[in-house]
Chain A
Amino acid sequence: MKVLNYIVVLLSICSLTSCEEVIDLDLNSADPKYVIEANLNDINSTQTIKISKTVNFNEPIPNEPVNNAQVVVIDVAGRAHAFTSNGSGLYTSSNFKPITNGNYSLSVNVDGKEFLSTTTRVPYVEVDSLGILKDEVFNETYYAVTFKFLDPINTANYYKYSYSVNGKPFKFSAVFSDKFNNGLLVTHEITERSDADKFVLGDDVTILRECINVDVYNFWSDLQSINPGSAAPANPKSNISNGALGFFSVSSAKLYNVTITDSSEEE
């Protein structure tokens, strides 16, 4: 929640003397676990699913790709779509554009293990207006892309945002629910505070906005609520069976492209 952000900012004022230092930690290692990232949407007709294994914390690779899995998605109409491996942990299926709302299921078979999941595609909630917000926090300038829209009052709605800056790969940004603003005119601000990724003047930013199912929301919400002050961080609750990490989502989505400028909406 936003309130927490303010607290963090204010805490950082009182810790003027604080200092940051990279340290060596002897962390426990763990047996590798399968990670399935099945994020399907209706942006284009080629779908990609990524399968990998966890690696130990100190390894200089982000994950270990898995290439020997059988991956099948069954759509609302009961048609099976087989996904084929491209050799780098990615599995693709062309001519598959999930545009119908309803239930989809996933099965992944690998090394004698079977991982299953079902999810529901929900309708898209259209955006009324798009803007850029400039915010100054302690002499640091941050730009946010804003989405204004009317949240449907009769359903619980969940939104997920990812961003791509200047054509780089998409990164997850945030998920939102309408718990506090169901049925209202809502504004979502999408920004990035880390130095490496923050939006700067002239950036060409593409934002992927997805309307998602509650399970997928819970998964990402668990992840985004973990911070160094969490009493006990844990793995997010996956909607895939058999102890796999990751999630299966079929969303209704749209892409929005903006160039960060000062001329538009300002605070």
Chain B
Amino acid sequence: MRFLSTIFVLITCVCYTFAQSNQNISGYVRDAASGEALIGAVVQVKDTKTATSTNSYGFFSLKVPETNFNLQISFVGYEGLDIVVDPLVQKNFNFELIPLDNVLEEVVISGKKRNNNVTSPQMGVLNFSMDEVKNVPVLFGERDILKTIQMLPGVAKGGEGSSNFYVRGGGGDQNLILLDEATVYNASHLLGFFSTFNSDAIKDVELYKGGIPSQYGGRISSVMDIRMMDGNNKKFAAEGGVGLIASRLKLEGPIVKDKSSFMLSGRRTYADLFLKLSPDETVNKSKLYFYDLNAKFNYRFDDKNTVYVSGYFGKDELGYGDLFSFDWGNATATVRWNHVFNEKLFSNTTLIYSDFTYNVNVSNDNSDFKIASKIENFNFKQDFSYYANNKSTFRFGLNVLNQRISPASLNAAPGASVNTIDIEKKYGLELAGYASHEWKPNDWLAMIYGVRLTDFMVRGPGTFYTYDSDGQPISSETYNSGKVIKHYLNVEPRLSMSFILNQDNSIKASYNRIVQNLHQLTNTTSSLPTDQYVLSSVNIKPQYADQVSLGYFRNFANNKYEFSVETYYKKMGNQIDIRNGADLQANEYLEGELLYGKGRSYGLELFLRKRQGKFNGWISYTLGKSERQFEEINEGAWFKARQDRTHDISVVAMYNLTKSWTLGANFVYYTGNAITFPSGKYELGGKTIYYYTERNGSRMPNYHRLDLSATYEPNKTNKRFNSSWTFGIYNVYNRKNAYIIDFRDNKENPNITEAYKLALFGAIPSVTWNFKF
């Protein structure tokens, strides 16, 4: 605890020293129609280089001239604002921008600071608002933020229809996915086909692949920071859609006009409704659906204090008659308090709870039991931003994260044919403190440097085992509740910098070290909700990654086109794999089944994006390699990670054909996953058995697919009510991409062994009706 108190004292001191301010103005930028905070809006003193952009709460602070001057506020898709400001009269502002009625117009506002991607020191970051990607064609017509993320450079898709993703050769469990700052453990529904993020409820997404800022920690490959809509505080509004397999409804409105609002959004799939038509009683009593609920409430007490409460609840239900049911889901709750100490110091205090649970119920003649598992965390965060002047911004804060894992326990009914098995809960407490400085010493250099300190404590109560090299337990020790068995102290330096060659060109470099104390164990190719999580322990050391990257950023044609090249090299330590034939279910000696090794990945990413105009979209290409090495696997030689993809190309294009019609298309191509196929065969027990030599020594066939969509929005006849139709075709040329390749004996001649593929989706049409009023 000494660590914590030292940091706290330090921060308090810093607050007091910084709490003196002069000639800074601060405030919020919001949407005039809905009151939604605008993230990344540019606030600039006219005809000068004095500029800043709003943070994720729409807040800004800017050091300004003392006399009257013109201030310009601008944001893509909104009418710019140009007002005269006298800081001696007013220092706090609430700016509201009017959304442009028609995004078709190519609006170019002179003096607009649109080259942030070039001049900002942050690299390896991609962001977009939900509005920007609403016309991207998607499977079943269900807009999905994770599927869009997968089409960005450096992000590999998890497989056909899957919402899993792998960033720069990292693992699927190495992405920190935050929904209003709460960790989402399992970001997919229906075994991966849909993400847990209902696009109606989401405002904005930011993905960090490298140079990750020091306020983030806990996952070594990426951070995906998703923010929910705040809710309209001007007027009541409803929005929704009816699709082939899901329907959505969102309600939002003011509670106290201009001060307080709510947002409620729900979604449910009904893919299983046709099962009801089946004459088979077991089938028509089966279930297969999911639902999501997002809710948010905010209250603005005054210009200095705002409170946000947000939550998410989602659940998947899968059932086969009365015999078997399986449900799983995430829940998150976030309470935040934004406080503006003064024009320079912004504070955010957050309390977060999030969990992920799954339950299995089996009841048939010879077995009647339940399996339940839960992972949960309580998180306290205190973040400060200090806008010292227009060259320096300091960010610092504290984080206390308490995690508890209840591994799958088996609960049998009395007289059942299985025994009750209770596996001990695991406890971990992580303290972290960070500080960073965003600094623009001159016109050609900008940087963010910082450090994050973490202390992960392995805590009791519990029995801790040590294992021999074969994974057999050799000794054990039992500890009481609250006892700290081990500390893992880590220093995580972060640096990202840009050399601004001119307003259109920059070179950026970054380095980061990140540590991860929560690990997911999976022995299947597609991650299942039943995959186990483990915390760092006496045996399991924290995973870490060191990443360096270098990039060139260039904007063309008055910032209409953004282009970047980034290269990266990532070294990963204390990586985890699973012993061959490991028993991961309800196993007290689970840690004995784990193997520890290392990883490396490197690659090149090209990205060309056009964000405005009638025709917009992007092209992304990744050339990459990702490898792992474990002493016990592949005879100790480096082998390709499953998500190793040599080439990965995505093209996304959207075109506003007329006022009513918008067309969308995307094309993806990537090298097949590395996979272990047999090199030979033999016979045992009358069956053909496959002989394996090299881990991941083969490849799945290359994957490619084209999707198209068309959105029709009739000319407004009614001012209040809007509706639109979206038609789409997934996999237009009906390519049978291999989902699974398996092997079997030929039917006519069992001595001949053949390979066959299963393709999941051929061409799939979809239609969705959306409305808004």
Asked, given contacts A22-B754, A28-B679, whether A37 binds B326 with beta carbons under 8 Å apart, the answer is: no
Given A221-B581, A230-B524: A54 in contact with B751 (beta carbons within 8 A): no
Whether A24 is near chain B, meaning CB under 8 Å from some CB there, is yes
Count of chain A to chain B residue pairs whose CB atoms are closer than 8 Å in the complex = 223
Q: Which of B524, B686, B740 contacts A231 (CB 8 A)?
A: B524
Closest residue of chain B to A64 (Cβ to Cβ) is B682
Contact A15-B681, Cβ < 8 Å, known A136-B280, A223-B689, A234-B580: no
Residues of A with C-beta under 8 A to B698: 25, 27-28
Which residues of B from 574 to 629 have beta carbons under 8 Å from A? 578, 580-581, 583, 585-586
Q: Inside 8 A of B758's CB, which chain A residues have their CB? A: 15, 18-20, 228
Interface string of A20-55 (1 = CB under 8 A from B): 111111011110110101010000000000001111
Is the CB of A14 closer than 8 A to any CB of chain B? yes
Name the distance in Å between B302's Cβ and chain A's nearest Cβ.
51
- Is the CB of B255 closer than 8 A to any CB of chain A? no
Check A198 for interface membership: any CB of B closer than 8 A. Answer: no
Whether B2 is near chain A, meaning CB under 8 Å from some CB there, is no
Check if B288 sits within 8 Å of A13, measured CB to CB. yes
- Whether A21 contacts B524 in the complex (CB less than 8 A), given A2-B362, A139-B280, comes out as no
Q: Are A63 and B271 in contact (CB under 8 A)?
A: no
Stretch with Cβ within 8 A of B (4 or more), from A70-78, A100-108, A179-187:
A179-187
Judge whether B318 and A10 touch: CB under 8 Å.
Answer: yes
Asked if A17 meets B679 with Cβ closer than 8 Å, knowing A54-B691, A169-B686, A223-B689, the reply is no
Q: CA of A28 to CA of B642 in the docked complex: distance in angstroms? A: 17
Interface size class on chain A is: 35 or more
| B585 surroundings in chain A (CB, below 8 A) | 1
Is A18 within 8 A of B760, CB to CB?
Answer: yes
Contact B275 A62 (CB under 8 A): no
Binary interface encoding of chain A residues 150-187 relative to chain B, with 1 for a CB under 8 A from any of its CBs, else 0: 00000000000010000001111000000111111111
Q: Looking at the complex, which one of B286, B685, B697 makes contact with A170 (CB distance below 8 Å)?
A: B685
Is A10 a contact partner of B682 (Cβ separation < 8 A)?
A: no
Asked if B759 and A19 make an inter-chain contact with CB atoms under 8 angstroms apart, the answer reads yes
Name which residue of chain B comes closest to A33, CB basis.
B691
Q: Provided the pairs A15-B760, A21-B736, A54-B691 are in contact, do residues A37 and B685 lie with their beta carbons within 8 angstroms?
A: yes
Q: Which residue of A lies closest to B675 (CB)?
A: A232
Q: Say yes or no: B680 contacts A60, CB within 8 Å.
A: no
**The one of A19, A24, A63, A267 that contacts B762, using a Cβ cutoff of 8 Å:** A19
Q: Which residues of A contact B528 (CB under 8 A)?
A: 7
Q: A245 near B: Cβ within 8 Å? A: yes
Q: Which of A55, A136, A182 has the most CB of B within 10 A?
A: A55
A203 proximal to B (CB < 8 A): no
Cβ of B755 to closest chain A Cβ, rounded Å: 4
Closest to A19 in B: B759
CA distance A99 to B418 in the complex (A): 31
Contact residues in B for A218 (Cβ distance below 8 Å)? 581
A32 touches B747 (CB 8 A): no
Say whether, besides A62-B683, A172-B684, A18 and B676 are in contact (CB < 8 Å): no
* Bitwise interface map of B from 403 to 430 toward A, beta carbon under 8 Å scored 1, else 0: 0000000100000111101000000000
Q: Which residues of A contact B573 (CB under 8 A)?
A: none
For B286, list chain A residues within 8 Å (CB).
10, 13
How far, in angstroms, from A24 to B701 measured CA to CA in the complex?
A: 11
- Asked whether A229 is an interface residue with its Cβ less than 8 Å from the other chain, the reply is yes
Q: Does A236 contact B (CB under 8 A)?
A: yes
Contact B684–A37 (Cβ < 8 Å): yes
**B642 contacts A54, C-beta separation under 8 Å:** no
Query: Chain A: which residue is nearest B744 at the CB level?
Result: A194
Interface size grouping (class) on chain B: 35 or more
Specify which chain B residues have a CB less than 8 angstroms from the CB of A98 in the assembled complex. none
Q: Which residue of chain A has the shortest Cβ distance to B578 in the bound complex?
A: A231
Interface residue from A14, A136, A185, A245 paired with B288 (Cβ < 8 Å): A14
| With contact pairs A10-B318, A19-B758, A228-B740 given, residues A55 and B418 touching in the complex (Cβ less than 8 Å) | no
Contact B581 A222 (CB under 8 A): yes
Whether the pair B280, A28 counts as a contact (CB closer than 8 A) is no
Q: Are B681 and A234 touching (Cβ within 8 A)? A: no
B440 CB to closest chain A CB (Å) equals 46
Cβ contact within 8 Å between A54 and B682: yes
**Within 8 Å of chain A (Cβ to Cβ): is B723?**
no
Report yes or no: A235 in contact with B691, Cβ–Cβ below 8 A.
yes
Max chain A CB contacts within 10 Å: which of B578, B681, B739?
B681
Given A23-B756, A181-B418, answer yes or no on A222-B580 (Cβ-Cβ < 8 Å).
Answer: yes
The answer to whether A54 and B676 have CB atoms under 8 Å apart is no
Return chain B residues, CB-CB under 8 Å to A52: 682-683
Chain A residues with CB below 8 A from B264, complex form: none
Say yes or no: A229-B687 contact (C-beta < 8 A), given A17-B761, A22-B754, A27-B679: no
B760 touching A57, Cβ below 8 Å:
no
Hey, which chain A residues are within 8 Å of B689, CB to CB? 223, 245
Which residues does chain A contribute within 8 Å of B687, judged by CB atoms? 171-172
User: Separation in Å of the A14 CB from the closest CB of chain B?
Assistant: 7
Known contacts: A3-B362, A37-B684, A245-B691. The answer to whether A183 contacts B419 by CB under 8 A is yes
0 or 1 for each of B752-773: is its CB under 8 Å from A? (1 = yes)? 1111111111101000000000
* Bound Cα distance from A172 to B689, whole angstroms: 11
State the CA gap A13–B750 with chains docked (Å). 29
Q: Which of chain B's residues have a CB closer than 8 A to the CB of A234?
A: 580-581, 676, 692, 695
Q: Check if B690 is an interface residue, CB within 8 A of chain A.
A: yes
Which residue from chain A places its CB closest to the CB of B530 in the assembled complex? Answer: A3
The answer to whether A267 and B365 touch across the interface, beta carbons within 8 angstroms, is: yes
Distance between Cα atoms of A199 and B363 in the complex (Å)? 25
B682 touches A55 (CB 8 A): yes
Contacting pair A186 B417 (CB below 8 A): yes
A-contact 0/1 string along B284-298, CB 8 Å cutoff: 001010000000000
Cα distance A29–B677 in the bound complex, in angstroms: 11
Q: Contact between A231 and B679 (Cβ–Cβ < 8 Å)?
A: no
Contact (Cβ within 8 A) B740 A57: no
B642: chain A residues at CB < 8 Å are 231-232
Are B756 and A20 closer than 8 Å at their CB atoms? yes
B419 in contact with A180 (CB, 8 Å): yes
**A233 to B525 Cα, complex, angstroms:** 11
* A225 interfacial contact with B, CB 8 Å: yes
Bound form: Cα–Cα A223–B585 in Å? 17
Residues of A within 8 Å of B762, CB to CB, are 17, 19
B742 at the interface (CB under 8 A from A): yes
Could you tell me if B679 and A57 are in contact, using CB atoms closer than 8 angstroms?
yes
Interface centre among B275, B288, B583, B680, by most chain A C-beta atoms within 10 angstroms, is B680
Are A237 and B753 closer than 8 Å at their CB atoms? no
A13–B761 Cα distance when bound, in Å, is 13
Closest chain-B Cβ to A176's Cβ sits at a distance in Å of 12
Closest A residue to B365 by beta carbon equals: A267
Chain A residues, CB < 8 A from B749: 60
Q: How far is the CB of B764 from chain A (nearest CB, A)?
A: 7
A68 adjacent to chain B (CB < 8 Å):
no
Q: How far is the CA of A228 from the CA of B673 in the complex (A)?
A: 14
Residues of A within 8 A of B754 (CB): 22
Q: In the complex the two chains form, what is the Cα distance from A21 to B737 in whole Å?
A: 11
A22-B754, A28-B679, A57-B678 known; 15 new pairs, CB 8 Å cut-off, are: A2-B362, A3-B360, A7-B528, A17-B762, A21-B757, A30-B679, A33-B691, A136-B280, A138-B283, A179-B586, A196-B747, A222-B580, A229-B524, A229-B526, A230-B524
B contact residues vs A (CB 8 Å cutoff): 190-191, 193, 271, 275, 280, 282-283, 286, 288, 318, 320, 323-324, 326, 360, 362, 365-367, 371, 410, 416-419, 421, 522-526, 528, 530, 578, 580-581, 583, 585-586, 633, 642, 676-698, 701, 736, 738-743, 747, 749-762, 764
* A-B contacts, 25 listed (Cβ < 8 Å): A1-B585, A10-B320, A18-B760, A21-B757, A23-B701, A24-B755, A25-B741, A27-B677, A27-B755, A33-B682, A35-B684, A62-B683, A62-B688, A63-B681, A162-B686, A171-B687, A172-B687, A180-B586, A186-B417, A196-B747, A218-B581, A232-B633, A233-B678, A234-B580, A246-B684
For the complex of A and B, the 10 pairs showing the least CB-CB separation, nearest first, are A172-B685, A222-B581, A171-B686, A30-B679, A187-B366, A54-B680, A228-B742, A228-B740, A25-B755, A35-B682
